[in-house]
Homo-oligomer: A and B are copies of this chain.
């Protein structure tokens, strides 16, 4: 029944009220995660993107090239494929499968942290479900939010998916090795990011070829 008026139908108001409650509950749990992570000096980075933008490839290379304690939590609707890729680097990893779900939430992160038991002072990467829409709304308690886009996706994505870019601390423009073969305008993309989020940094790099990864490592060190 409708929680608002008691009738038998679902109203938009009921949906909106429930969504607000879900987000409020998530924010409470995210605050607990944030406190736990800060007490243990764990730097958690929430990596978000469309499917196939190169999050896992960026993580594989980062783990191989950075010294220090790193741990990873992988989010996907199905499969252990990304966790297997991370595990083959020797890095501790836990996979979350969301089933029909479209994003990670703070409760899922808490459960994954319980399973992973990351070390004190670790750098903890959380690779969200590939989705440029829904993960933007769910705080996980992370220290930093990184949105990865690839040059093959086109220049206009920050304007068309503004909620995600507005929530980002850093925008990584990946696959610059493919720039010669696609129609992508990095200057215009930077301007689009700035128009929805003037505070976000933008780094253009290639996780496969290695262009400009030092800037990414510098950003992580300062996070």
We find that the number of chain A residues with CB closer than 8 angstroms to chain B is 47
CB <8 Å contact, A78 and B18: no
Taking a contact as CB atoms closer than 8 A, the residue among B14, B77, B150, B177 that contacts A163 in the complex is B77
CB <8 Å contact, A132 and B133: no
Known A3-B3, A25-B10; judge A78-B130 contact (CB<8 A): no
Which residues in B have their C-beta under 8 angstroms from that of A77?
Answer: 133, 160-163
A85-107 interface bits toward B, Cβ cutoff 8 Å, 1 = contact, 0 = none: 00000000000000011100000
Known A3-B1, A133-B134, A152-B152; judge A78-B159 contact (CB<8 A): yes
- The answer to whether the Cβ of A223 comes within 8 Å of any Cβ in the partner chain is no
A1-14 interface bits toward B, Cβ cutoff 8 Å, 1 = contact, 0 = none: 11100000110001
22 intermolecular pairs with C-beta atoms under 8 Å apart: A2-B3, A9-B25, A10-B21, A15-B22, A50-B50, A50-B51, A50-B52, A50-B153, A51-B154, A51-B160, A52-B157, A78-B159, A79-B156, A79-B160, A81-B159, A100-B137, A100-B163, A129-B133, A130-B160, A131-B132, A177-B181, A178-B181
